[in-house]
Structure 1
Amino acid sequence: MQRKAAFKWGPILLALVSIAFFYFKSETFQNPITGRETRLGMSKQEEVALGLQGYQEVLSQSQVVQSGPDVELVKKVAQRLVNVVGSEGEGFDWQVSLVQSNEVNAFCLPGGKIVVYTGILPVAQNEAGLATVMGHEIAHATSRHGAERMYDQGMVDIAMKGVQGSIEDLDVSQQKTVLGIIGAGAQYGVLLPFSRNHELEADEVGLYYMMKAGYNPNEAVEFWKRMAAIGDQKPPEFSSTHPSDETRFRRLQELIPKIRQKIGQ
């Protein structure tokens, strides 16, 4: 009896066709601050709609601080930063909320929906420190990192399905081994490095925003030093979605003179 081939090329070819279709269907985006070009997995309108939905869900499950000096500070910083965002912020309906939480965090959803947790205020220490955080998060939204992650994940998913279909004649343990190796390669070789690159780009764009808004850029360096000092035990940088705090503040020190030249300070 003729033995069936363990590897099938049909699913791989179909995956390649699907990848090509996904590639040409996607739109391109060039970051106006860094000049980096990328491809996106969704339109800006789709991003904005998802951002609004996510913002409403977060606020419905959180204790929103309605008034007080911290709220006024967060609004002030947001306004100064938003005022210097260029064409990359077109179509955004900017909103900002302060949420009562011990979590040291903040984020900006697509479409300009900013959430700051009270837990990050002691680490920020001052207005420029807060501008560091908020500028970084705004930069994720204006750089369209969410849509880019959708594109990257979509490409990986298509490739994985192609591989899975091509090895279906292997026994289950062999399939798991092959898919595990390829999945780890995609995670550590594609997705995590892209995530770290997004963080570094958001650092650069956020620094540009805060400097253009008139904040002292050295406070950005000091903020990440404080984050490094209070940070919990973190995984090695290669296995993390974020670069190390030390990497960030050293890179920011290098970027400050370049951005000064760019904005004419």
Structure 2
Amino acid sequence: MKLSHLVISLSLAATLAGCKSSPTGRTQIAMYSEAEMNQLGKQSFAQMKKQQPINQDAKINRYVQCVADNVISVLPAKYANQQWEVVVFEEPSANAFALPGGKIGVHTGLLKVAKGQDQLATVLGHEVGHVIAEHSNERMTAAGIKQASLQVADAYSRSQGNRLHNETMMALGLGTEYLGMMPFSRMHESEADKIGLDLMAKAGFNPKESVELWRNMAANSAGAPLEFLSTHPSSDTRISDLRSWMPNAMVLHNQAKSQNKKPHCE
């Protein structure tokens, strides 16, 4: 069997085994079970809590918990009904994350960049968006397919007595990284931006503040790599996308206000 046929067979098998749709309707391949992903998320979070200092300021923790609770309240039922744990870590980087299994981490550095509840809700909506779209599952699946494909290519190259074996494998590795995995990650980021924008709007937060958040992020990330060489879209791309999605987000925001969803987490 030719190398190309072997790789196609691997990809086809994975597709048949784990094909599903994301919240935006995008077809995705996610081969791990929900229980497996939740267990991994809980284990990772427990390890982080052992290794990183945790903020003990009651006022800061109440504020972050309030924003998180409002975003969680509008998640699909199976996620909204989960017992979520929210931890503020003493870490200067402007970052946050959410993990399968109901875990949210916020770095204190983010609170200096995300000005006010609406901008913090932008970030938390985005991070929770990764979870409900099963991006971790999809990335792990893609990484497994990539590794299996490279192993097949390695064996095939050696069997053919390829004198340029090392160079060939390096080229294949770089190709899958820059032409596959990185654009794949940027797609996840954009999808999480869209999901997060809708979530914050449904919760009653002002979606227009999402644009201001990314302006702040851009000012805080001077010297970021070119978008082609990054796993994340550029701030300009994100702002442009957010503006294109804003009319629908404002409809959701106005609906939330009519339902008296008016967060007060200041």
TM over 0.5: yes
**Are positions 1:150 and 2:179 aligned together?**
no
Matching residue of 1:110 = 100
* Structural mapping, 1:121-132, within 5 Å: 121-132=111-122
Q: Deviations over 1:73-127 (max 9, x none)?
A: 1000010000000146277431101111111111001122000010110101101
Once the two structures are overlaid, the 10-residue window that deviates more, 14-23 or 137-146, is 14-23
Shift of 1:11: 6.2
Shift of 1:172: 7.1
Q: CA RMSD in A?
A: 2.0
**Are positions 1:239 and 2:240 aligned together?**
no
The 3 A distance-change label for structure 1 pair 209 and 188 is same
**Are positions 1:21 and 2:13 aligned together?**
yes
2:125–2:196 contact (8 Å) kept in structure 1: yes
User: For 1:144 and 1:18, how far apart are their aligned partners in 2?
Assistant: 21
**Are positions 1:30 and 2:30 aligned together?**
no
Once the two structures are overlaid, the 10-residue window that deviates more, 116-125 or 80-89, is 80-89
Matching residue of 2:47 = 57
- Letter of the 2:243 partner, please give it: Q
Once the two structures are overlaid, the 10-residue window that deviates more, 64-73 or 130-139, is 64-73
SS of equivalent to 2:126 = helix
User: For 2:77 and 2:29, how far apart are their aligned partners in 1?
Assistant: 18
SS of equivalent to 1:147 = helix
2:55–2:90 contact (8 Å) kept in structure 1: yes
Unaligned runs of 5+ in 2: 256-266
SS of equivalent to 1:65 = coil
The 3 A distance-change label for structure 1 pair 231 and 151 is same
Once the two structures are overlaid, the 10-residue window that deviates more, 156-165 or 44-53, is 156-165
2:202–2:252 contact (8 Å) kept in structure 1: no
Larger radius of gyration: 1
SS of equivalent to 1:229 = helix
* Structural mapping, 1:179-194, within 5 Å: 179-194=169-184
Aligned length in residues: 255
Q: Deviations over 1:25-64 (max 9, x none)?
A: 22x33223x2222110311111100000011000111211
User: For 2:11 and 2:113, how far apart are their aligned partners in 1?
Assistant: 44
User: For 1:110 and 1:46, how far apart are their aligned partners in 2?
Assistant: 9
Overall identity of the aligned pairs, in %: 34
1:108–1:141 contact (8 Å) kept in structure 2: yes
